Amino acid sequence: MRSLAILLMVLSTAALHADAAAVQTPVPSPVPTMLCNPPVTPDPTFQDASYATKWPHIALAEAKRLMRLKSTVFIDGRSKLEWDQSHLPGALPMPLGEFDKYYALYEKRLRHAKIVVAYCHGKGCHLSDGLAQRLVDKGLHDVAVYWGGWPEWHDNRMPMVDKNGKKVPYPALAPTPAPSAK
């Protein structure tokens, strides 16, 4: 009986300490702690703090502003075929599955950029976050994600070009859906 009382006391003390630790554990902020230089304006509607809090997620207006800066490099995380069909003007192809190959091709340009903006199939697609993480792992610091991506750019009738740099007329080709994992 005495052993049971001691066991209950130990368990209740452990539960109290667990509750105290839970209260003191900091919750990650949905606002990125690292902003680019020059600063970018994170999209205030971006609420997903469960991943990628190391870089800002920007909206269309900020993507348009950064597109006008020569020191910004946009990279497209979609497949090379999709990039060939249509992409944001000046964007470099960088399919996440072939990151090392394309990074080696464009490393010098990426390292000289003031800001690197990754984009992909838009909200719900995390290829751009994967690219951002790989770039941060390579030592780049001024990385952002345009989380509206190709679909938002297209839907707002923003300029797009094909693999030869020729303007793509509207309606532009719809993105090829990503293959499903089976």
> How is the chain split into domains, by residue range?
29-182
Alpha-carbon gap, residue 138 to 146, rounded angstroms: 20
Query: What per-residue string of b and e applies to 122-132 under the rule 16 or more CB within 10 Å gives b?
Result: beebbbbbbbb
The stretch 134-162 carries a mean pLDDT of 94
Amino acid at 99: F
- Find out whether 161 and 169 touch, Cβ atoms under 8 Å: no
* Sole residue written with tokens 């990650």: 28
Judged against a pLDDT cut of 60, whether residue 7 lies above it is answered with no
Q: How many angstroms separate the CA atoms of 38 and 142, rounded?
A: 9
Contact yes or no for 124/88 (Cβ under 8 A)? no
Backbone φ, ψ for residue 23 (5° rounding): -65, -35
pTM over 0.85: no
Tokens read off for 73: 């490099």
pLDDT in tens, 37-72: 656 766 666 666 555 567 889 999 999 999 999 999
* DSSP symbols for 14-63: HHHHHHHHHHHSPPPPSS-S---SS---B-TT---TTS--SS-EE-HHHH
In this structure, of 38-42, 81-85, 162-166, 170-174, the range with the lowest mean pLDDT score is 170-174
More confident residue, 84 or 39: 84
Element (H, E) at 13: helix 2-24
- What is the C-alpha separation between 94 and 102, in angstroms, rounded? 6
Q: Could you give the CA distance from residue 153 to residue 150 in angstroms, rounded to a whole number?
A: 5
Name the least confident of 102-111, 126-135, 163-172. 163-172
Q: Which residues lie below 8 Å from residue 23, measured CB to CB, with a gap of 6+?
A: none
CATH class for the region spanning 29-182: alpha beta
Task: State the distance between the two ends of the chain, measured CA to CA, in whole angstroms.
Answer: 55
